[in-house]
Structure 1
Amino acid sequence: MPYITTPDGVEIYYTDQGTGQPVILSHGWPLSSDAWQTEIKLLSDAGYRAIAHDRRGHGRSTKTFTGNDIDTYAKDLSALVEALNLTDVVVIGHSTGGGEVVRYAAQYGKGRVAKVITAGAIPPLMVKTDANPDGLPIEVFDEIRANVLKDRSQFWFDLAESFFGANHGRDVSYGAKIDFWRQGMLVNLSAAYDCVKAFSETDQTEDLKAIDVPMFIAHGSDDQIVPIKDAALKAAELVANATLKVYEGAPHGIHGDYQEILDKDILAFIAE
């Protein structure tokens, strides 16, 4: 299996498929690059080089308990891009992965990144603060941390319901829920716990303002994990060259009819 080693000695697993312009996909919490398998095939079939990595602490990467923050995630992505000597890169990030690619493009990917795509992404800031009064209360994230510690196996099952919108009547297979659980069980507990702070309390307002390439911002109107009002609607106002698309009734998880439409939109945006 292919790995690169970061400057601090963490092994990052990645999958690399196809040839052509490189497209890197960053997954959400608590998943792995397996969450992008459909997109990897579609992109490589369309003539792109599709690359997806397991974030540190997740999947097949080193089960580290250090560096579980957005800046280190972005530095790990930079290490991968540099190790593979990639240019003209399209970066795609879902959820926490959206925060990762935004930080990378803003601070580490200058001259390498051609376009940025996010779906259900966390920027600019999820938690409620004096400067962000309509964010989610910190107690929401404290409860997530408590559930991760108490019984993470059951919590991943429970979280899959709202992640995919099954609790709102969407048709979600048992297999999809099991796969979410499977990927969640691969994450190091410390990494899963610390990542809650990373995805909820990292203010990426300045990162968004620094994006100087075209950016496609996708978000479901029924996203129960990253509410659209705290994320995409604000992000689109901060990015100089942003295209915002709201998917009516779509959940946080990229699945079903939402996935089919989003994947077509991703291919169209890259080809522009």
Structure 2
Amino acid sequence: MPYITTDDGTEIFYKDWGSGQPVVFSHGWPLSSDAWDVEMKLAADNGFRAIAHDRRGHGRSTPTWYGNDMDTYAADLDALVRALDLRDIILVGHSTGGGEVVRFAARHGVGRVAKIATAGAVPPIMVKSETNPEGTPIEAFDAIRDAVLADRSQFFQDLSAQFFGTNRPGSTISQGQRDQFWRLGMQAGFAAVYDCVKQFSETDFTEDLRKIDVPMFIAHGGDDQIVPIAAAAEKSIKLVKDGTLKVYEGAPHGIAGSYQQELDKDLLEFWKS
């Protein structure tokens, strides 16, 4: 299997499908690159080179004790980009991965990144504060950490309902989709799962977003129960220079079902534009 090794010795697993302009995918917490398989095939089938990595501590990458922070995640992505000598990159990030690609683009991607697309992304900042009253209270993230410590397996099973919106009337998301969320989450290293909660909730991406000067497509589910749109996409679109916001009415956080079908059409159009 293909890996790169970072400066601190961490092995980062990645997939590399097809050829053409690179589309680089970054997954959400607590998943892996497998979460992007449908979109990677879409890209490779349409003349793009699809690349996705397992974030350190997730999937098949080293289950690190150190470096489970957003700056290191972005540096790891930079190491992958440089190892593969990628240029004219289209970045795609979901949830925590949306934060990762935004930080990478702002700090490492100048001259290499052509476009950015995010879906249900955590920027600018999730946690509630005096300056971010629309955010989620810190107690909610403390509860996630407590649940991870108490019974991670059951917590991931329960969380999949909110993630995919199966707790809403009329949901058509299968049990298999929920099981896949649990499976990928259980593959992640315990330290990374715990530490990443702080990273996706408390990292402030405001200045990163202001630095982005390439076209950015910001997608968000209108019924996202994990990353509420009012503190995320609706604020991010006001910070970027060349952004387009699309809200998928009634769509959840997880990319599946009819939401996935519509989003994938829009992603392909954005990649080709």
Q: Same fold (TM over 0.5)?
A: yes
Cα shift at 1:104: 0.4
Q: How does 1:25-44 map to 2 (within 5 A)?
A: 25-44=25-44
Residue type at the aligned position of 1:261: E
Equivalent position of 2:200 in the other structure: 199
Cα shift at 1:65: 1.6
Q: How does 1:6-45 map to 2 (within 5 A)?
A: 6-45=6-45
Q: Report the Cα distance in structure 2 between the residues aligned to 1:134 and 1:92, rounded to whole angstroms.
A: 25
Residue type at the aligned position of 1:204: F
Equivalent position of 2:233 in the other structure: 232
- 1:150 and 2:140 are equivalent in the alignment: no
Gaps of 5+ in 2: none
Q: How does 1:116-265 map to 2 (within 5 A)?
A: 116-169=116-169, 170-265=171-266
> SS in structure 2 opposite 1:13?
strand
Calculate the TM-score normalised by the size of structure 2: 0.99
Q: Report the Cα distance in structure 1 between the residues aligned to 2:7 and 2:116, rounded to whole angstroms.
A: 25
Cα shift at 1:133: 2.1
Q: Deviations over 1:198-253 (max 9, x none)?
A: 00000110000000100000000000000000100000000000000000000000
Gaps of 5+ in 1: none
Q: Report the Cα distance in structure 1 between the residues aligned to 2:251 and 2:133, rounded to whole angstroms.
A: 25
Cα shift at 1:135: 1.1
Residue type at the aligned position of 2:20: G
Q: Percent identity?
A: 66
Q: Report the Cα distance in structure 1 between the residues aligned to 2:134 and 2:217, rounded to whole angstroms.
A: 24
Cα shift at 1:134: 2.1
Moved over 2 A (4+): none
Q: Deviations over 1:178-200 (max 9, x none)?
A: 11110000011110000000000
Equivalent position of 1:108 in the other structure: 108
- Report the number of matched residues: 272
Equivalent position of 1:57 in the other structure: 57
- 1:78 and 2:78 are equivalent in the alignment: yes
Question: Superposition RMSD on alpha carbons, in Å?
Answer: 0.6
